[in-house]
Chain A
Amino acid sequence: DTGVSQNPRHKITKRGQNVTFRCDPISEHNRLYWYRQTLGQGPEFLTYFQNEAQLEKSRLLSDRFSAERPKGSFSTLEIQRTEQGDSAMYLCASSFPPIRTGNPSSYNEQFFGPGTRLTVL
């Protein structure tokens, strides 16, 4: 399977514990994105990487959240001192960077993984 993979698929933890999720993007993609999706809502952007550089972080990403992509391949998202409000589906996506052509609306599709569902008790 050459799609985006995420592990674990499900994580149940107690409040105050630390958790770490992993994302393996499509191998040719140099952009990697993290989103969070709560029940009944669309995904919300958290952060993204181009290669190993983290280029943007949402204000949703509190100090308890940290994301890394040390070698420009897989990425990890760590949540420290989890709170019940952190319960959500965490989605990873990857893409090529936008191609600059004569059309300023050029865009490369983001391919999403199956997500990691976090439940904080």
Chain B
Amino acid sequence: GNSVTQMEGPVTLSEEAFLTINCTYTATGYPSLFWYVQYPGEGLQLLLKATKADDKGSNKGFEATYRKETTSFHLEKGSVQVSDSAVYFCARVNTGGFKTIFGAGTRLFVKA
């Protein structure tokens, strides 16, 4: 079936550290892939997306590359800030689809 698996949190980093949050998906069809972020007390916001293999999504210093060969969409940032502390969700939508399937979320804490 369709699923998304992401690394368990929480992830705790010091400011300016390198961030990787792993995400893999089941290889059913040709999904579009997303990272959403949820700041404390707020709704989900789309962080970045990639709609086909080898696409790289990027926003606010975050990047993720759609890797079909490894069915992965890992989130990276070169230098995190305290303000990046949030829960990050990896997600997929199948071609022409409507239902977003989310991973369980990874909480990130960034210490000053």
B-contacting residues of A (Cβ < 8 Å)?
4, 31, 33, 35, 40-45, 48, 55-56, 91, 93, 98, 100, 103-107, 109-115
A104 to B93, CA, bound (A): 12
The residues of B that contact A31 with a CB separation of less than 8 Å are: 98
Q: A114 contacts B95, CB within 8 Å?
A: no
Q: A41 contacts B100, CB within 8 Å?
A: no
Q: Is B42 an interface residue (CB 8 A)?
A: yes
Q: A115 contacts B43, CB within 8 Å?
A: yes
A-contacting residues of B (Cβ < 8 Å)?
4, 30-32, 36, 42-46, 49, 51-52, 89, 91, 93, 95-105
Q: Which listed residue (B31, B42, B89, B98) contacts A42, Cβ 8 A?
A: B89
Q: 16 new A-B pairs (CB below 8 Å) besides A105-B30, A107-B51?
A: A33-B100, A40-B104, A40-B105, A42-B89, A42-B104, A55-B98, A93-B44, A98-B97, A103-B52, A105-B31, A106-B51, A107-B32, A107-B49, A111-B46, A112-B43, A113-B43
Nearest chain A CB to B71's CB is how many angstroms away? 15
Q: A91 contacts B44, CB within 8 Å?
A: yes
A98 to B96, CA, bound (A): 6
Q: Which listed residue (A42, A45, A56, A100) contacts B105, Cβ 8 A?
A: A42
Q: B51 contacts A43, CB within 8 Å?
A: no
The residues of A that contact B104 with a CB separation of less than 8 Å are: 40-42
A45 to B99, CA, bound (A): 6
Q: B91 contacts A56, CB within 8 Å?
A: no
The residues of A that contact B105 with a CB separation of less than 8 Å are: 40-42
Q: B43 contacts A91, CB within 8 Å?
A: yes
The residues of B that contact A44 with a CB separation of less than 8 Å are: 102
